[in-house]
Structure 1
Amino acid sequence: MPQRALLLVFILLGLISPAVAAPSPRPNIIIIYADDMGYGDPGCYGGKLVGTPAIDALARDGVRCTDGYVTAPVCGPSRVGLITGAYPQRFGVQWNQDGRLMKLPPKHQILPQALRQAGYVTGLLGKWNFPPRPAGDVFDEARDVMDWEGDYFPDEHGHYTGVDEPKEHASAKVQGIWGPQRPDDEYLTDRIGRHAVEFIDRHRDKPFFLYLAFNAVHTPLHAKKADRERFSHVKPEALQFYAAMVASMDENIARVLSKLDDAGLTDNTLVVFASDNGPAKMPVKVWPKDWPVDFLLGSAGPLAGHKAQFLEGGIREPFIFRWPAKLKAGQVYRQPISTLDLYATCCAAAGIEVPDGTHTDGVNLLPYLRGQQTGAPHDILFWKLDDRGAVRQGDWKLVLQSWKPKRQLFNLADDIGEQHDLSDQHPELTGRLHQAWLDWSAPFPPRANPKK
């Protein structure tokens, strides 16, 4: 057949062949990780102290999870679990002080590395708290970087103590500042929000991953003078600061969502919102003498416990997914899930596999959130600090303590507030769950930096 005739045949075959749909563009991914925000703080989880319209909008337009967990009730191991996709105990991390000496296998690629290798532009804004790999080495852009906490207002030289300075691991530990002291000083939460908007604007034409890790609502208690009158009805003053800090974070989440709308990116951007652990119990260091003590800064809602405890209030957090192109709006998902799952879920959303040499303990949640797969994503979940910890399997939860009663069993379906210990009524179940915890933890290395 002459060459021109053959070419014509191929052209005609192409015209009459069924159309092959082009692959969907890869989604942008934003993980918003609050600090010390309790389960009962957002309005969509029953919060009454301060309105959270932006967080509530995420829930309205996405999937609100009722049983979303973190991997630890304190920030260090909680963030290790999210960013590695693995139980932090695998790396010797059980509590905050372990992070600096943790042993992360060289071949284990953390989430931003996996997405960066897949062609995503990656950015971190805020709290990193992951010593083995400096933020500047694993993100294309890293700004407002903090280890533990930072001041919300700059000093006279424009520096925020604890921010963008590797040698500074914390704030100046001064509580109770209504600022700014100078008219042009920018509140740190606003600064992080502004930088998030600018990041989206710069990279709107390519897939991006943004880890938006506000240090809010962690202490120090600093808030804007402009909000003082707005929350003057809130008592005590420490809680007034907290309300203003929650409001500022929510307003900056709204700025980010508005930028996605303006850039036409909302439909194909997966946004995840969660908090690293439950609300903190006051006081903290350098506490004003006339402020009350022994109260929660924030709310765990119907849950018992708080930050640093393995009761639900320490480890069950607000947990929301929004991806309009893929997830039906207005859903409530009631099966237990974990921040362990975000690694596999983000990789699946990006259309990539978890990298070779990377061990993860989480699962891809997308089939469950889309109704394509039924049942529970996890048969069992674990938490551990030395001989303390917890196990959840189905509706049953075993809490392990170093003091009496050392083992407490709760049925969360009937007792979400963990008020009725059923270990005496169900000794076999108590023993089985405890043995499962022992078997799970047996292969792990000792703590990287045990408390002396």
Structure 2
Amino acid sequence: MKRAYFICLFFVLALFFSCSTTRPVKKPNILIIYVDDLGYGDLSCYGAKAVRTPHIDELANNGLLFTDAHSSASTCTPSRYSLLTGSYAFRNNAAILPGDAPLIIDPETVTIADMLKKAGYATGVIGKWHLGLGNGEPNWNIEIKPGPKEIGFDYSFLIPATADRVPTVFVENQRVVNLEKENPIEVSYDHKIGTLPTGLEHPEQLKMKADTQHSGTIINGISRIGFMSGGSSAHWKDEEFATVLSQKAKAFITKHKDKPFFMYYSLPSIHVPRSPNAKFVGATEMGPRGDDIVQMDWMVGEIMKNLRELGIDKNTLVIFSSDNGPVLDDGYADNAVELIGEHQPSGIYRGGKYSAYEGGTRMPTITYWPDVIKPGRSDALFNQVDLFASLATLTGQQVDNKNAPDSKDMSQVLIGNSSDGRKSMLQESFTMSIRSGTWKYIEPLSKEVPDWLANKTIETGLSSAPQLYNLKEDREEMNDLSAKYPEKVKELAKELNRIKGM
């Protein structure tokens, strides 16, 4: 009798542990789809009415939709740095980079790509980079080193910085695509070079007017930040971004369909200049910004279709999110403000890109992995800096104390097995904030606001005085409680300084 009892107990325990494990026998492919300047309220699955995003909605309907997931910063370079390194950007003074900046990630730093490559993954990055290339000012006419290869990526096809910055060329495996030796590229962010027209000199050549900052060299009828000469055979056409990047992404997936792959797919939409392909023009009544959201959704659909056709969608973990909050007028006259109507890019939240308010970092975030992630919604507090440690756990890798210092293992939150998210986290803008539960403290601004930011109409949340909000009662951050709860201000300020001093 006892023997039968122990045999039954053994099988019960074996069944329990086999059911409770979350690590599949076969390592999943990992696809991070990272959108640019997409707000919490810009998708129909997050409540948007003026634009429809059916492909992303399908991900949400069959995956996990997050309501309190965040980028680590309200601007692009810092968020991207944190995602790839598992470290808050302030630790490396990471800020918005010019187009000729050197690589901001030290090749000695272990990145997500390094970690997954060690786990046996083929690794690729396709799309917007904006983390710098080379040492010093890069020479665009030779192999540009260091770059993605030196920080773990086997393959790269890049928009080097942003679409509104020179050089306006694609860089594949660290060489400019279609460059002719007889027409070398030069780039300057200090003064005009070469004979190409600029937006200030020839506004009649522009498809859309631009502010002074964006009135440098004209390429494809659009003036950019900075100046360049040469490389005419390599110049991109903005309207071809969607098709070119989709082709490159699908080719990478197809090539590596029989082994685990990691692809960081960094879409340029919906960053300015918004110049969507002709087939998306007029898709909304919001002009180029709305049409660009539809184009972005199509790009997501193309990748998901490719995964299904190859029969690998069920073994692919898809993580969809954005690098920072939305912005309407960001240097180009594309009627984004005039045509916004009742659409709310940040949803119910205040602020957007550049802002310390929630709209700056609270991102639409969806995770999808058939048969592993159950469809639903998660209110857990999550930060993109945690992707490093979370993906390490899901792929059986260890993170030592030297790497990813700010990344926490949120793997069970990511796949929906737990709602126990972060207890606290930093939010970087032009100042620093800390979330602790539903409390949020924004520290006083300690430096001058750049002139270009002062001219933006966005609510930055920057102040010379401390601010305190309780998001449970005040999601829109309209009621500053710092005077009412001075001890809470002191407590959170102390915690913020502790983390900054680590």
Q: TM-score, normalised by structure 2?
A: 0.72
Q: Is the 8 A contact 2:283 2:294 kept in 1?
A: no
Task: Compute the RMSD of aligned alpha carbons.
Answer: 3.5
Residue of structure 2 in register with 1:7 after alignment: none
Please say if 1:145 is aligned against 2:159: yes
Q: Is the 8 A contact 2:319 2:368 kept in 1?
A: yes
Which of 286, 296, 321 matches 1:249? 296
1:204-223 aligned at under 5 Å gives the runs 204-223=257-276
Deviations 1:308-356 (A, max 9, x none): 0110111111111111132112x21102100011111222222222367
Q: Is the 8 A contact 2:64 2:415 kept in 1?
A: no
Deviations 1:103-129 (A, max 9, x none): 756542111111112211111110122
Residue of structure 1 in register with 2:453 after alignment: none
Please say if 1:433 is aligned against 2:446: no
Separation of aligned partners in 2, 1:412 and 1:392: 9
Which of 155, 170, 189 matches 1:163? 170
The 1:195–1:214 alpha-carbon spacing in structure 2 relative to 1, beyond 3 Å, is: same
Which of 119, 123, 147 matches 1:134? 147
Please say if 1:312 is aligned against 2:358: yes
Separation of aligned partners in 2, 1:176 and 1:54: 30
Unaligned runs of 5+ in 1: 1-17, 152-158, 444-452
Deviations 1:65-84 (A, max 9, x none): 10011111100101000000
Separation of aligned partners in 1, 2:66 and 2:379: 6
The 1:356–1:411 alpha-carbon spacing in structure 2 relative to 1, beyond 3 Å, is: closer
Q: Is the 8 A contact 2:289 2:336 kept in 1?
A: no
Alpha-carbon shift at residue 400 of structure 1 (Å)? 2.4
Alpha-carbon shift at residue 243 of structure 1 (Å)? 1.3
Please say if 1:380 is aligned against 2:394: no
Separation of aligned partners in 1, 2:336 and 2:264: 34
Partner letter of residue 303 of structure 1?
A: Y
SS at match of 1:433: helix
Residue of structure 2 in register with 1:42 after alignment: 43
Q: Is the 8 A contact 2:126 2:249 kept in 1?
A: yes
Separation of aligned partners in 1, 2:464 and 2:116: 45
Please say if 1:79 is aligned against 2:80: yes
Please say if 1:392 is aligned against 2:438: no
Deviations 1:130-164 (A, max 9, x none): 2275124331111133222269xxxxxxx992432
Which of 287, 296, 318 matches 1:240? 287
Which moves more between the two structures, 55-64 or 27-36?
55-64
Partner letter of residue 368 of structure 2?
A: R
Partner letter of residue 306 of structure 1?
A: G
The 1:310–1:229 alpha-carbon spacing in structure 2 relative to 1, beyond 3 Å, is: closer
Residue of structure 1 in register with 2:247 after alignment: 194
Q: Is the 8 A contact 1:26 1:350 kept in 2?
A: yes
Partner letter of residue 301 of structure 1?
A: G
Which of 279, 298, 301 matches 2:347? 301
The 1:163–1:303 alpha-carbon spacing in structure 2 relative to 1, beyond 3 Å, is: same
Alpha-carbon shift at residue 393 of structure 1 (Å)? 0.3
Separation of aligned partners in 2, 1:136 and 1:107: 12
The aligned length equals 404
Residue of structure 2 in register with 1:117 after alignment: 118
Alpha-carbon shift at residue 97 of structure 1 (Å)? 6.4
Q: Is the 8 A contact 2:36 2:324 kept in 1?
A: yes
Q: Is the 8 A contact 2:35 2:270 kept in 1?
A: yes
Higher relative contact order (CA 8 A, sep 6+): 1
Separation of aligned partners in 2, 1:343 and 1:83: 7
Please say if 1:263 is aligned against 2:277: no
Separation of aligned partners in 1, 2:278 and 2:414: 41
The 1:169–1:342 alpha-carbon spacing in structure 2 relative to 1, beyond 3 Å, is: farther
Partner letter of residue 396 of structure 1?
A: W
SS at match of 1:267: helix
Separation of aligned partners in 1, 2:385 and 2:100: 17
Residue of structure 1 in register with 2:277 after alignment: 224
SS at match of 1:198: helix
Identity %, equivalent residues = 28
Separation of aligned partners in 1, 2:380 and 2:413: 9
Separation of aligned partners in 2, 1:219 and 1:168: 20
Which moves more between the two structures, 134-143 or 64-73?
134-143
Separation of aligned partners in 2, 1:260 and 1:295: 34
The 1:390–1:398 alpha-carbon spacing in structure 2 relative to 1, beyond 3 Å, is: same
Alpha-carbon shift at residue 99 of structure 1 (Å)? 11
Separation of aligned partners in 2, 1:160 and 1:194: 22
Alpha-carbon shift at residue 303 of structure 1 (Å)? 0.5
Partner letter of residue 408 of structure 1?
A: Q
Which of 343, 365, 369 matches 2:410? 365
Residue of structure 2 in register with 1:8 after alignment: none
Alpha-carbon shift at residue 277 of structure 1 (Å)? 0.3
Deviations 1:253-285 (A, max 9, x none): 10111111111111110000000000114141x
SS at match of 2:110: coil
Which of 317, 321, 324 matches 1:277? 324
Q: Is the 8 A contact 2:99 2:130 kept in 1?
A: no
Q: Is the 8 A contact 2:388 2:404 kept in 1?
A: no
The 1:214–1:98 alpha-carbon spacing in structure 2 relative to 1, beyond 3 Å, is: closer
Q: Is the 8 A contact 1:113 1:139 kept in 2?
A: yes
Residue of structure 2 in register with 1:348 after alignment: 393
Q: TM-score, normalised by structure 1?
A: 0.80
Partner letter of residue 304 of structure 2?
A: L
Q: Is the 8 A contact 2:373 2:415 kept in 1?
A: yes
Q: Is the 8 A contact 2:380 2:419 kept in 1?
A: no
Alpha-carbon shift at residue 404 of structure 1 (Å)? 4.5
Residue of structure 2 in register with 1:13 after alignment: none
Q: Is the 8 A contact 2:413 2:419 kept in 1?
A: yes
